[in-house]
Chain A
Amino acid sequence: MKALILVGGYGTRLRPLTLSCPKPLVEFGNKPMLLHQLEALSEAGVKHIILAVSYRAEQMEKELKNVEEKLGVKISISLESEPLGTAGPLALASKYLTVDNDPFFVLNSDVICEFPFKEMIQFHKHHGKEGTIIVTKVEEPSKYGVVVYDAETGKINRFVEKPQEYVSNKINAGLYIFSPSMLNRIELKPTSIEKEVFPAMAKDGHLYAMELQGFWMDVGQPKDFLTGMCMYLTSLRQKNPGCLYQGPGVVGNVLVDPSAQIGKNCRIGPNVTIGPNVVIEDGVCMKKCTVLNGAHIKSHSWLETCIIGWKCVIGRWVRMENVSVLGEDVSVNDELYVNGGRILPHKAISDSVPDPQIIM
């Protein structure tokens, strides 16, 4: 089987992290974002994965070589010379997708969930039409485009953009499985799969919806990245509690790389991910944070809802909160307050950031 992952461009929504690292390689739950999908696909028996990218990143291609070996899958890069939207990349990669008549997966790269690939294959084969999309339930459907479908069969009737009156609470989760014949609907030009292709497929009775069980999050921007991390750790607690960290001062679900060091009298958690080679000194309190490889958090600091980039150094008695995101190698002096600061790589912060702002 085959899968196409829509990796896309520069990942600007996840800046300043993506200024130092291609988005698919940014670690989510101590694992590159893309690897979550690659592993799940490989698990489901997918042997060839095509990454649809609109820019080349050497670092990523090198990393993918290792993954190919480790997972025993073939990874191809399909490079767009101009952005082709969400459908165009399928046409561009059609030579890979039509080598046989098996259905293939298409994934948005920012999605984190318990990927139900095996169930998707079953469901898709069962109805026998051109496409299946995964839908997920949301609390406030008026913010999204919702999917209206038959609860019994899953057959999609229509899509409604930002409904003002309740019609459905299910939205497109960005995970699809298609039969190769569906590619006839797509031309090699910038096209939106959601707005142009799906409505036509639904009209023809060729699109079915399958509801996702468990959590789902688009982690393409910092706030959602952290919310998604909380969901991911909760799911780890159920699926694989052994990999969560246990130790003095740990509260709730906390993921810690074995090479990280944690000092005394800390309170870590709930919902904290600590990457490799991170040093947390004594008396630090952290909640809902991700700390990336090699960062150093000094004594008595307090961090909530933050992403601390690679090799950052946070001083003592620093308070950081409100979706502060530090790029690679940022240093924050002792005793400062950072409220919602987005700080670009290699900055030395010597004054407090009392209100949300971007520090160039």
Chain B
Amino acid sequence: MALKTIILIGGPMKGTRFRPLSLDLPKPLFPVAGFPVIYHHIEAASKVPNMKEIILIGFYQAQEDLTKFIINVQHEFKIQVRYLQEYTSLGTAGGIYHFRDQILMGNPEYFFVMNSDVCGDFPLVEMLEFHKHRPAGTFCTILGTEATRQQSLNYGCLAENKDTSEVLHYVEKPETFISTTINCGIYLCSPCIFEPLKRIFKQNLEENYNFDFNTPNKEVIRMEQDIFVPLASTGKLYVFHTTRFWSQIKSAGAVIYANRHYLELYRDTHPDRLAKNGEGKPKVIGDVFIHSSAQVHPTAVLGPNVSIGKNVMIGDGVRVRDSIILEGAMLQDHCCILNSIIGWNSTVGMWSRVEGTPNDPNPNKPFAKLETLSMFDDHGKLNPSITVIGSNVQVPPEVIILNSMVLPHKELSGCCKNQIIM
């Protein structure tokens, strides 16, 4: 049996809510818990027995960061990884259909489809087991999880037959309540899924094709609206439930949340990646990842929920909590970083305080997910969020940067609170 995994990585006009971080690096490559977002997907996929190939589909121009990443993961996981570039944004299913020959090469029995803007402890092996036991001719199993009634409206919602797990009804972001079971953006497909894909593709072509150069052709196929909605109740679509950690990664704030959970997973999966306390080492509280090339002064205190990137320098008496410090950043003596992301090669001066406001899910509500707040409130004021310092920013000594976003290559001159610094 051969298996493949498709990871949908999107393109440059996606991930805008992730700015200013996505100005420097494609969002799927942003490091969470020390490794790029899709590294975690690839790692999960590579653990499934008989996984033969991992295909990244997106519309980023071929670029060095992505190429380097692919070489590294191929080497590390000993599996073929390729990037197939769409000529334009084709939608969540359009790219899969477009590259069908590549995907079907080697006759995979099934293939996973993973969106790159989600993170979690993906139960791929269990999904596979579940899918194998569905009736012959099943197109797809969707990974589903529970959400609150309120929050379910922001996701794809599905109603199922509780006995057979068949999806009876599917709506993307409904206006009124449908079900608390939501689509996790992780699918396991049988090759026969290309039948409906082909049908939709042709239908789109026929309905929309014309000789008027003013109206663009409709080439986009959306997995959710174009495939799942009509396939519900046909006996071809099933849902597999997970109660493990899962979240979307839409905003920069979500990264801090994802970071915490991936670090927590390391306790079981990779205890070696978590920093330990010891003589001559910085004090570590809770789960902390420190890249081996980072230089951290032994009087610094890190954690919980902290990732320190490559070649980062951390001075005397620095405090970092619930934050990600990206490659090449420098944190000078006595500074304090809370709920923030410090960009590549940025510097935070002595005794400065960089602080954001977390918007973690309500811990008192079962199944509550991270809220993706809009950036501004009803009065046009910036909602408190985590603080993001873009790349190559100089934060001077002794200032406070609170609930702010700082775009790359800025030299700040003073304090800023609840501001976006262009």
Q: Residues on A close to B: CB < 8 A?
A: 265, 267, 282-283, 285, 299-300, 302, 304, 316-317, 319, 321, 335, 337, 354
A69 to B376, CA, bound (A): 66
**Which B residues touch A283, using CB under 8 A?**
299, 316-317, 333-334
Q: Which residue of B lies closest to A266 (CB)?
A: B334
Residue of A282, A285, A316 near B398 (CB, 8 A) is: A285
Residues on A with C-beta less than 8 A from B316 are 265, 283
The A-contacting residues of B in range 315-368, CB under 8 angstroms, are 316-317, 319, 321, 333-334, 336, 338, 350-351, 353, 355
A335 x B321 contact (CB < 8 A): yes
Contacts A302-B398, A317-B353, A337-B353 known; 13 new A-B pairs at CB < 8 A: A283-B316, A283-B334, A299-B317, A300-B334, A300-B336, A302-B334, A304-B398, A319-B400, A335-B319, A335-B336, A337-B355, A337-B402, A354-B417
Q: CA–CA, A354 to B387, complex, Å?
A: 15
A285-B351, A337-B400, A354-B402 known; A319+B336 contact, CB < 8 A: yes
B331 CB to nearest A CB, Å:
12
Instruction: Determine the residue in chain B with the shortest Cβ distance to A321.
Output: B400
* B5–chain A nearest beta-carbon distance, Å: 42
- By a CB distance below 8 angstroms, the chain B residues around A337 are 353, 355, 400, 402
Pick 7 A–B contacts, CB within 8 A, sort by A.
A265-B316, A265-B333, A285-B351, A302-B334, A316-B319, A317-B319, A321-B400
Q: Is the CB of B336 within 8 A of A317?
A: yes
Task: Name the distance in Å between B339's Cβ and chain A's nearest Cβ.
Answer: 11
Complex CA distance for A299 and B318, rounded to whole angstroms: 10
Closest 5 CB pairs of A and B: A317-B336, A283-B317, A300-B334, A302-B351, A300-B317
On whether A300 and B398 interact (CB within 8 A), knowing A285-B334, A335-B336, A335-B338, the answer reads: no
Cα–Cα, bound, A299→B317 (Å)? 8
Q: Inter-chain contact count A-B, CB under 8 Å?
A: 45
Report A263 CB to chain B, min CB distance, Å. Answer: 11
**CB within 8 Å of A: which B184-237 residues:** none
Q: Which residues of B contact A354 (CB under 8 A)?
A: 402, 417
Instruction: Please name all residues of chain A whose beta carbon is closer than 8 Å to the beta carbon of B299 when the two chains form the complex.
Output: 283
Residue in contact with A319 in the complex, picked from B321, B350, B353, CB distance below 8 Å: B353
A300–B336 CA distance with the chains assembled, in angstroms? 9
Per-position 1/0 for B84-118, Cβ under 8 A of A: 00000000000000000000000000000000000
CB distance from B205 to the nearest CB of A (A): 56
Q: Which residues of B contact A (CB under 8 A)?
A: 299, 316-317, 319, 321, 333-334, 336, 338, 350-351, 353, 355, 398, 400, 402, 417
Whole-angstrom distance between the Cβ of A356 and the nearest chain B Cβ: 13
With both chains docked as a complex, state the minimum distance between the C-beta of B414 and any C-beta of chain A, in angstroms. 12
> Which residue of the partner chain B has the closest CB to A316?
B319
Distance of A354 Cα from B404 Cα, bound (Å)? 14
In angstroms, Cα B316 to Cα A283, docked, is 8
Write the chain A residue with the least CB distance to B350.
A285
Residues of B within 8 A of A319 (CB): 336, 353, 400
Cβ–Cβ < 8 Å partners of A321 in chain B: 400
A222 to chain B, nearest CB (A): 20
Chain A residues with Cβ below 8 Å from B334 are 265, 283, 285, 300, 302, 317
Closest A residue, CB atoms, query B355: A337
A304 cross-chain contacts in B, Cβ below 8 A: 398
* A110-B172 Cα distance, complex, nearest whole Å: 69
Q: How far is the CA of A335 from the CA of B339 in the complex (A)?
A: 12
Which of A265, A316, A317, A321 has most B Cβ within 10 Å?
Answer: A317
Pair A302/B353 contact, Cβ less than 8 Å = yes
B133 to chain A, nearest CB (A): 51
For B321, B338, B351, the residue with the greatest tally of chain A CB atoms inside 10 Å of its CB is B351
Q: Do A282 and B317 touch (CB < 8 A)?
A: yes
Q: Shortest distance in angstroms between B284's beta carbon and chain A's nearest beta carbon?
A: 16
| Docked CA distance A44–B289 (Å) | 68
- What's the nearest-Cβ distance from chain A to residue B327, in Å? 24
**Nearest-Cβ distance from residue A353 to partner chain B, whole angstroms:** 12
Q: Which residues of B contact A316 (CB under 8 A)?
A: 319
Residues of B within 8 A of A299 (CB): 317
A335 to B338, alpha carbons, bound, how many Å? Answer: 9
Alpha-carbon distance between A302 and B415 when the two chains are bound, in angstroms: 14
Considering residues A299, A302, A321, which has the most beta carbons from chain B within 10 angstroms of its beta carbon? A302
B334 CB to closest chain A CB (Å) equals: 4
A316 CA / B338 CA spacing, docked (Å): 13
Of chain A, the residue at the smallest CB distance from B397 is: A285
How far in angstroms is the closest Cβ of chain B from A268?
12
Q: How far is the CB of B351 from chain A (nearest CB, A)?
A: 4
Tell me, in angstroms, the Cα distance from A300 to B350 when the chains sit together: 10
B353 touches A300 (CB 8 A): no
Chain B residues closer than 8 Å to A285, beta-carbon distance = 334, 350-351, 398
* List of B residues within 8 angstroms of A335 by Cβ: 319, 321, 336, 338
Compute how far the CA of A317 lies from the CA of B338 in the bound complex, rounded to whole angstroms: 11
Report B-chain residues with C-beta under 8 Å of the C-beta of A265: 316-317, 333-334
Instruction: Give CA–CA (A304, B414) in the complex, Å.
Output: 14
Chain A residues near B353: list those with CB within 8 A. 302, 317, 319, 337
A316 and B317 CA atoms in complex are apart in Å by: 10
Nearest opposing residue in chain A for B384, CB measure: A354
- Name the A residues within 8 Å of B400 (CB-CB): 319, 321, 337
Chain A residues whose C-beta falls within 8 Å of the C-beta of B317 in the assembled complex: 265, 282-283, 299-300
Q: How far is the CB of B266 from chain A (nearest CB, A)?
A: 24
In the complex, A73 Cα to B353 Cα: how many Å?
51
A302 to B353, CA, bound (A): 9
A319 to B333, CA, bound (A): 14
Shortest Cβ distance from B355 into chain A, in angstroms?
7
Quote the shortest CB–CB distance from A321 to chain B (angstroms).
Answer: 8
Bound together, the chains give a CA A282 to CA B301 distance in angstroms of 14
Residues of A near B336 (CB, < 8 A) are 300, 317, 319, 335
Q: State A218–B355 Cα separation when bound (angstroms).
A: 37
* Cβ of A229 to closest chain B Cβ, rounded Å: 20
Measured in the bound complex, the distance between the Cα atoms of B335 and A302 in whole Å is 9
Complex alpha-carbon distance, A354 and B316, angstroms: 26
Rounded to whole angstroms, the CA-CA distance of A302 and B334 in the bound complex is 9
